[in-house]
Structure formats: structure tokens, C-alpha cells
Structure 1
């Protein structure tokens, strides 16, 4: 079948007139500069030099005799100083009956203030100086951070140090933190996207895994002031601490000040490295019925890798081709060509000290749930069957390397990255190796890691949406009976009774 280039040519062919006559008629109407219009755009001819080698200004590293590590990044661009005291130990390390403790600890620590100064008064003092001192709790760490004008550094750092050494932990502030945490728990099923991501994480790591478990009302209510004090005493040891400071300071003076503050701390018990088994999800189809929505969130999930894996770089390039933005295979097929999703994305996750999560996710109309899921699975299969091209390889490398620079385009970002590497025990030049390692990836490497790490038989599929509007039933996936996922929020008996009394009979 001929695809006609123009209405004129099409009409001529249909009436039996000669192609030569049609061509002659066309050429009489073509502007004389038509050839120029088909020339490559000038901007495409601009030579693009190779990226320069990456050598960021590394912070100065100082290790005290008690094991505390200091990282100093001098930067005189602005008259500010900011610092962080990062302490090993986080929510993954608390007992199952106390899940939520670290979040309450991070909140109560700062709002309570110190034994010498009330937290509310600290708020007023710091606000007057446009300064900040905050405390936090994360999955693997807790910490104190501060930022201020350089002229106020001594006073503001003194507050941060006082919080570290003499926290107050007040009952009324813990009560307030509990109320806020419980409010969040009660409303955690309001946003469908959050429900889908949370439950997909549980499928990969297990509902009871430290990397997926969630605070419940009962676990939050069980936390006491003594628990917070015991946690602080257990974790705050110099050999579990990294202090990083960036800004407008004299390095020798700052080192002297930090040594004076921390060298006298006695060494404590070293924080144990994380362990655990990571078998990945139980393959199958899982569903959460949400009758109040008109679209579905679909997650296809499996186990990812660690950044220390030598294949990390090839997997990063493979993932960029698969799901890295508008030009990715996933986006171009599922959204652009098939029009089956409002948004579609994915990632081959790589954490620093445990496997990340491999996921492919889309948000689609209820009626196209099955079609979108099948299209996503098809693209996952094609990672093993459709050869990677040189053009895909180069584009992915360009995307990764051009975006990577924005992670380290300022001294404070370099310090953040260096602190992260220090925390997880990675070599200081890990970032410098990234550029060369990405550039060295070949299409053969991509084919090898796709064959090694992509196994559709080990994936789980989670669908969160309105089952009555799916159109095509989930049974069309040929994955057996869908497993319903219960997202009911456990309610302590006393609280349930109180709520029923407030609602009154018949409600």
C-alpha cells in the first residue's frame, strides 16, 4: 500500500496521470529555498565536548581518638554556617512493640529543650536570630542540625550541643507528639497513592520487616519518657557520631572548637551493622478495594540491589532506559503510544546497606487497570528480550551524568554526600568513580544484568482501586485468585469504645 506524500500526488496517481507530470507540477510551486528548509538545524551542529573529570572539593576529615568523625567544608560565598550531628541507630532498630519511638524521640527532643532552657524559649531566641536548631529521627539515624549567621555560630552551636548532652524530654511534649502521630495514623488511608506505596513496600520486605513496618496507635501509646531517655543514652556515643559543618568559618578555629566540645566524650558500644534476610515478595496478584476512587494505582514490585554491588552502574543505565523519564521505554509505550496511564514510572532501587526495591508503577483509569498492568509487564519482559541499542545506551548515560552533577553542584551538597558515604562505610572517592563507571557500561553489560536481575516470575502485583469499575476482571491476568490486602487501622478497645460513645447510638 502506498502512503501518499501529498494531496496533489495522491490525486494524480488515482486518476492515472504520470508521476513525472505530477512531480513537474509540484516542483513549480516549491520555494527556491526549500532545500535549505530541510537542512539540519544549526544547533544540532554545535560540537559537544566530553564531560570533564569529576573531582569535587572533598571536606576535611578528622577522626578523634574516641571514634567521632568530623567533616569540615569551608565555604565563604555567604556568611552562614550549618552543621549536622548524625547518630547511628534509627527506627529499624527499635522493638516491634515500640514502633514509632524514634519519630516521637525526634519530635520531643527538640520541643522539650534542655535542662537549662525550655524548648519554647529556644524557639523565641532562635527566631530572633533567624537561626535554626532541629532534631530528627529516621530509619537508621537520629540527629541534631543547626544553621545560622556566622556571627551567631558560637551561641547557636552551643544550643545544639546542649541538646545533645542535656536533653529534657518533657511529658507534655511527648503527649503532644503522640497526639500528632496518632492523627497521622488515623488518616493514613486517605491518600490512595500513599496507601499503594506503603503496601507495595510491605510486599517486598514483609509487613514485619524493619524497613516496612508502621507505627500503630498501640505502639505509639506504649512509648514512655523512660524509653526516650534510654534510647538517647544508648545511641549518643562518639564512635557512633558524625559531625559535619559547612560554611563561612576558619577551619583551624572550627576544628579546635569541635575538638573541645567532643574529645572528652567517652567511647561507647559500637552500633551493630544491620542484618536480616531479604527474600523478596511472594509472587502473586494483590488487591486493595477502594470504592471511593475512579482510578487505579498499580505497583509491580520486586527486590532491588545495594550500591556496593559492582553491577550497580549497569543497572542504573538499564533503569534509565526502562523508566527514566519521558523518553523511556515504559513512558513511550504505556503512556504515549497506548495512552493507558496518567503517569507511569519505575526504578531499580539501590540502598546503601540493604537491598532497595524494584518497582514499576502507573496511575490509570479504573476501566484500563488490566490493560495498563499487562503493558507494564510486557515492558519488563522486553528488558530480557528486546536488545538495547547504542542510541538508548548513549541517551541514558547522558541523562544520568548530566543530572548527577546537580547532586554535587555546591559545597554543602558535596558535604552531604560525603557524610552519607562516611555513615555507611563507603570509600570517600565513591562519587568520583561514578562518572567513569557509568561511561564504561556497554550494551553487553545491559543484556547481562537484565538477564541476571530481571525475573518476572519473582514479582508481585498490587492494584489499589475500585474493583467494581475495572471493566476487565483481574482474573484476566492469569495469575490466580487476587489476594485481598487488609488496610484496616487497628484501634485499641478503649479508644474504639470512646469513639462509639461520642458518635452515639445508631451511627
Structure 2
């Protein structure tokens, strides 16, 4: 596909800035008995490459992670990160959109991408022998997309349809409504996709500016897991990025997003979205803790006990014993400087009051009396099991590498994480429950309720 402008070239090499590495620096992070050998290389540009070599696998998952998400947008930019995610697959100076997809599919591989509130990921999964192709294609589309004007208009239509489809899914919409109830106009309270009002007027120039100002080498982590050789991956990445806008002057990697100052949340409030649905969708919750808080391991156990599975208190009380809801669960979302803890339930509209009363009563009971030793053991076992079982495929291992580097600045070994979960005491969980579950709760409701006042 042809470029809509001039072909971009890398800047001429300049002397390294103070503190920036003059050459690639590689070190081994771990040789985990539950995994493979993990190595990390920092390129002179500040881009980081992490790999986990797992010789027993015959596949490789390769991902390019950018420390840019919807929370980094201004109000008028809302949806720019997600818009860009769509556009990068539409063509580069070397490949058309069809060539991008067909080259990977021709070897049985798969590609995809997703945008979150704090980062964007582009990834491919291929046979180990096809890793060089995956690296070349994925680096090409992330580093050197042309963003043709015609493609901007095409994808604008696609995204507007995606937003409309989302509005037709009340089970998804209620989560966005709850985020708005807690965060208000803060970027964490906005839709990742943006809205019709922000996506419709967004120009190619605005998206291009966002692309080039945000997608810089120090903000990017490349991660791969499977049957691979670290040195070969680094060499292939450098070759693929040579001459692109990511082949830049020496720089130091960007620091991970700071935990302070903490995001200011709104006072507890109730938001209702009237919609003629067969089922009501409700979320009751409060601000939680950020992802670096040492209490996150206790929170994981508490979440498992309250609503993390079929044996949890809420599932047993609301679904198994009373049959009031098909789906009921609790969850914790954690960001660099904030977090959420909430309970979701989907039920018949006439049963909403009973479901909410039971949920509030259970949260109050755990806040006052805590959990039991048996529940503690079960909650810890669920945390450890879900984590280890989640490492059974290359995609989850690749994600673990990237998130450790991008979100925490390091990679916690598997054994250490399991030890941290084992160290959670009954007092840790009950102290956290007493503090967290006593906070004023916000409520989000989507369903056929007209002007009903749930705040009472």
C-alpha cells in the first residue's frame, strides 16, 4: 500500500544523551524451574526485549506492548489509542492490509491487538519456525504504519459500529457505567473506545500526531515466549526496526507509571441507564487499591472468598441457594494509582432489590466478622492454582513478561509470587475486608427501570 506522504527515515545517529546506554545491554532475569530462561535486553533506543525460552513448546507468542492507553488521552482525544490500534493493521510502507493478514495466516498463525486504559498490545502466535516472519510483520505495522486518509474513514465507520454494538450489550455497558460512577470525568472513567461525539470529528492529522508522539522506543516493550533463542529474537527485532521511526537516538527506557498522586474518586453515587432489557445488570462497589499495594495478595484471597468462584459466598447465597441470578461474581481492577472492587449480578428486574440487599448484607458481614480459616486456605489455593495454570500457554507467559516490565518495572519469579500468596494471613484479609468493605458503595444499574430512584 502506498504512503499518503513521504517515506519516513530514521534520524542520523547522535551522541548518546547522559545516562542513555551506548549499546544493547542484556541480562538473565530468571531461570525458573516452573518456566524457562527469561532474558532482557535494553536496546540503545530504550526499547526493551524480553523473552522466555521454553524448548518443549513448538509455538511462539510474540507481542509488542506500548505504554499508552485510553487514560493518556485528553477529552477531545478520547478513543485515539483504540482508533490507532485499528489503523496500524491497515498498511505500512512495505505491506498492504491484505499482506499483513495473509502473510501470517499463510503459515497458520494468528494476529490481534487490544487497547486497555493503560497500555496497548499487538501480538502474533505462530509456529516456532515462523517467528522471523511474525517479528518482521508485527514490528513493521507498529513502527511504520502509513495511516492512509481513506483507511481512517473506513475504520471510523467500523469503530462507530463497535460502539453501537457495545451499547447493545448491557452486561458490558454496566461496567463502563460503574467506572464513570467512581471516576467521573477522569480518563479512567471514560470509554476505551471513545464515543460517537469524539470519534466522529477525529482527524487523520490528530491520530498521526498521537501515533508519533506516543509510540516511541522508550515506551515500548517487546516480549516473546516459546521455543526461541533470545539473541536471535533481539537480532531480528533490530533488523525489523532498522530505518523506521523506532530506530532512534539513544535513550533510556521510560519509567513505569507512578503510583502517586492517587486518583481522586467521586463520592459514592448511583447511576442508572434505563434500557428495555429482559435482564437487569447491576454493579455495587467502591474504590479499591492500586496494583503495587502490598495488600493486593490479600485482596486476591478476599475476592476469591466473596465472589471468585462457584464455592464463593455470593455465588452460593444468591445463585445456588436462592436461584436469584444466573451470573454473580466479584472482581478487583487495579491501575497504577487507583483500583476498584465490585460485585456484578445479572438477574430478573423484579429481583434486583433482593439481590442488592443480599449483596450488601454479605459485604457487611465479611467487613464485621471476616472470613474463616477454611475460606482463607481455599482462597489462597484458588489464587495459586489460577496463576500457575494460567502459565500453560505461550500467550500468557508472553503477557506476564511484558506486564512485569511495563507495569511493575521488574518480573516477580513464580516461586516468589506463590510465597507471597502463602504468606497472606487471616488477619491480613480480615483487616483489609474491614477497611475496604466499609467504604461507601457506588451503584451502576442497566435495565428497564425508567425513572426509578435506586439511591434510596
TM > 0.5 fold call: yes
Q: TM-score range by the shorter chain?
A: 0.7 to 0.9
Judged with a 3 Å threshold, the aligned counterparts in structure 2 of structure 1 residues 432 and 306 are, in CA distance, closer, same or farther, namely farther
Q: Tell me by how many angstroms 1:462 deviates.
A: 2.6
Q: Which structure: greater helix fraction? A: 1
Q: Tell me by how many angstroms 1:284 deviates.
A: 4.0
Q: Tell me by how many angstroms 1:260 deviates.
A: 4.7
Native 8 Å contact 1:281 1:459 kept in 2? no
1:402 & 1:126 partners in 2: Cα distance? 33
2:340 corresponds to 1:357: yes
Partner of 2:382: 399
Judged with a 3 Å threshold, the aligned counterparts in structure 2 of structure 1 residues 336 and 427 are, in CA distance, closer, same or farther, namely same
1:439 & 1:377 partners in 2: Cα distance? 29
Judged with a 3 Å threshold, the aligned counterparts in structure 2 of structure 1 residues 142 and 194 are, in CA distance, closer, same or farther, namely closer
2:144 corresponds to 1:139: no
Q: Tell me by how many angstroms 1:309 deviates.
A: 1.0
Partner of 1:170: 148
Q: Tell me by how many angstroms 1:379 deviates.
A: 0.4
Q: Tell me by how many angstroms 1:71 deviates.
A: 0.9
Native 8 Å contact 2:368 2:434 kept in 1? no
Partner of 1:161: 139
2:395 & 2:161 partners in 1: Cα distance? 35
CA RMSD of aligned residues (A): 2.8
2:420 & 2:57 partners in 1: Cα distance? 34
Partner of 1:463: 445
Local SS of the residue matching 2:167: coil
Partner of 1:210: 187
Count of paired positions: 417
Structure 1: give runs of 5+ residues left out of the alignment: 1-52, 481-507
Partner of 1:437: 420
Partner of 2:327: 343
Partner of 1:254: 233
Q: Tell me by how many angstroms 1:203 deviates.
A: 0.6
Judged with a 3 Å threshold, the aligned counterparts in structure 2 of structure 1 residues 236 and 192 are, in CA distance, closer, same or farther, namely closer
Give the alignment partner of residue 195 of structure 1, picking from 173, 176, 189: 173
1:346 & 1:403 partners in 2: Cα distance? 16
Local SS of the residue matching 2:44: coil
Native 8 Å contact 2:89 2:100 kept in 1? no
Q: Tell me by how many angstroms 1:146 deviates.
A: 3.4
2:308 corresponds to 1:324: yes
1:106 & 1:157 partners in 2: Cα distance? 17
TM-score, L = length of structure 2? 0.82
Judged with a 3 Å threshold, the aligned counterparts in structure 2 of structure 1 residues 54 and 74 are, in CA distance, closer, same or farther, namely closer
Partner of 1:498: none
Partner of 2:274: 289
Q: Tell me by how many angstroms 1:86 deviates.
A: 1.6
Residues 401-421 of structure 1: CA distance to partner in whole angstroms, max 9, x if unpaired?
222211223455333212111
Native 8 Å contact 1:87 1:143 kept in 2? yes
Residues 158-212 of structure 1: CA distance to partner in whole angstroms, max 9, x if unpaired?
3333334432111121111100111233344322212222211111121x22122
Q: Tell me by how many angstroms 1:346 deviates.
A: 1.0
Give the alignment partner of residue 102 of structure 1, picking from 66, 81, 97: 81
Residues 94-132 of structure 1: CA distance to partner in whole angstroms, max 9, x if unpaired?
221121112221111111x11233222443444333344
Judged with a 3 Å threshold, the aligned counterparts in structure 2 of structure 1 residues 152 and 374 are, in CA distance, closer, same or farther, namely closer
1:180 & 1:416 partners in 2: Cα distance? 27
Partner of 1:46: none
Judged with a 3 Å threshold, the aligned counterparts in structure 2 of structure 1 residues 60 and 383 are, in CA distance, closer, same or farther, namely same
